[in-house]
Chain A
Amino acid sequence: MVFDINEWDKYAVEEAVLLKEKFGGSVTVVAMGAEEVEDTLRRCLATGADNAIRLTDKAFQGSDAATTARILYEAIRDLEFDLILTGVQASDDGYGQVGPTLAELLRIPHTTMVTNIEIMNEKARVRRELEAGLEEVVEVQLPAVLTIQTGINEPRYVSIMGVRKAAQKEIKILGLKELGLKEEEVGESDSRTKEEKLFLPPVTREAEILQGNPEEVTTRLAQIIKDKGGLT
């Protein structure tokens, strides 16, 4: 598997940089993970983020979504900020839990699945995605956590040169001790949900896979499309 920035986070970082370009201020990116996360953080710096923090410790392994939010909270609580942006969810686990949980720990408002942000003094007026193309507009008091939906912007192209340039910037590394956490407060020992096992989804309907060379399979498929009423 290729290690890459989470799809949703890519849009969140771009949105943060767009807001900075419009209103000034600075953007700090925070990520939890081992050394392979460095590349992702460099990419964020190359996108236009000013500071990067990596949270890493052996003890963090096995943390569930709620515990991950707790670790982020310890890193963020004493920083100054107007807005915290996260992705709606991660493309691997898809919990969709970290952003709103972090907001609760920080005791600040949040809203999720954001597709547009307008800043109005002490408030953000945002559009959230509902189902079937419907959206709603809500106003949220700042500071707040907004979880960003894909498609909110068009993430800029980051050149290799840009990433190289960002290589000189310092990435701050914080572990258990620096965050003032104890081992029993993080990782599997603190997590109240536990992944017991992974298994392949049961097959409900197996597609008939057409066999043969491209000529053969497309001939067969064209006939199937015709038989099923797909030729007008």
Chain B
Amino acid sequence: MAKIFVLAEHRRGSLRDITWEMLTKGRELASSSGAELVALLLGFGVRDFAEELAQRAEQVLLVESERLENFNGAIYQKVLTRLISEYRPELTLIGHTSFGMELAPSLAAQLAIPLSTDCIDLHLEGEKLTTIRQKYTGKVNSEISFPGARQYMVTVRAGSFPMEGEGTYHREIKSLSLPVEETADKTFIEYIDAVVGEVDITQSDILVSVGRGIGDSKNIPLVSGLVEALGATLSCSRPVVDKKWLPKERQVGTSGKTVKPKVYIAIGISGAFQHIAGIKGGTIIAINKDPKAPIFRVANYGIIGDLFKIVPLLKERVSELKAG
């Protein structure tokens, strides 16, 4: 019977959301194609995770070793090469996360299986797979096929599918005693937690967020005026931090913070997926000169225009309303 593999991702004692999201999509594909959904779990002391995963997959393949305690792509690759060569799944799903981006390309190359990365959807017709992914920071979608392939590997973008999905009654956990070899290639040393700064943007009801469109650090005070008038907190997108215009603690997005304000005002932010993924709920307002900017696809309200004109005017209007 054909198999669909989903590689469970976990870190510091918890399974990551992407695992459940992939199981949701994996279940749908397995049901429509008659394949068996198998969760792969590599780790150390993760029996509890296996029990959880067994609620959502026909089978859990479990490999435990001290060497698998923390993620190490080089060691994972060796174990997964064995598993995929032996079980020959039609499809292997891996998260398009820091974990999966480290692992999937070289694993696919070693196994000579074609790989499609950062996918937001998958379709299986008969044995033919197509995937959907995005280009140009989300402005265009692209459909990918795999001519002549019999096996596929896909990395899945976080948040593409719901975490809650159909369960299963089968629930088999198969513990495999594979040799897990050490490697000199790569060694995990330690985690470094995010620096706690003086501002906690996650605690603010109103965020005014600036992006690359602000052009220069010398334009930040322009926005600070609006921030003050609103009684809001200033946040930003990644490029602003990369350019050292604002500190990392103010960054919204997958590599920064996840925020849930009442109102989120995005100024000069194009709206790359990595940024949008950090905004959970609230009213989103976008000010951008590019009408095609992906931010307008998630915003509730938008102004298409020059932020250098709009922001000072908006500050005036807000001050008037407050005084009013």
Contact = CB atoms under 8 A, between A and B. Distances in A.
Contact of A218 (B106, B114, B313): B313
Interface in B70-123: 70, 72-74, 96-99, 101-102, 105-106, 108-110, 114-118
Contacts, number: 260
A135 B254 CA distance: 13
B305 A217 contact: yes
Given A207-B286, A223-B321, A109 B109 contact: no
A184 interface: no
A92 B141 CA distance: 12
A129 B106 CA distance: 19
Contacts of B186: 109, 111, 138-141
B317 interface: yes
Contacts of B203: none
A214 B310 contact: yes
Contacts of B142: 195, 197-199
Given A95-B118, A201-B134, A207-B296, A132 B258 contact: yes
A2 interface: no
Interface residues of A, number: 76
Interface stretch (B42-50, B51-59, B236-244): B236-244
Interface string B304-321: 110001100110111011
Given A193-B116, A228-B283, A232-B230, A198 B134 contact: no
A201 B141 contact: yes
B21 to A, nearest CB: 14
Contacts of B304: 209
Given A97-B117, A101-B109, A133-B257, A199 B140 contact: yes
Question: Top 6 A-B pairs ranked by shortest CB distance?
Answer: A133-B194, A230-B263, A151-B242, A192-B114, A222-B317, A109-B185
Interface of A: 65-66, 69, 88, 91-101, 103-105, 109-113, 125, 127-141, 150-151, 154, 192-201, 203-210, 214-215, 217-219, 221-226, 228-232
24 contacts: A65-B117, A66-B115, A92-B135, A93-B135, A94-B118, A94-B133, A96-B117, A104-B105, A104-B110, A109-B186, A110-B106, A111-B186, A113-B98, A127-B192, A128-B98, A134-B191, A136-B70, A138-B187, A151-B238, A192-B114, A209-B291, A221-B285, A229-B262, A230-B283
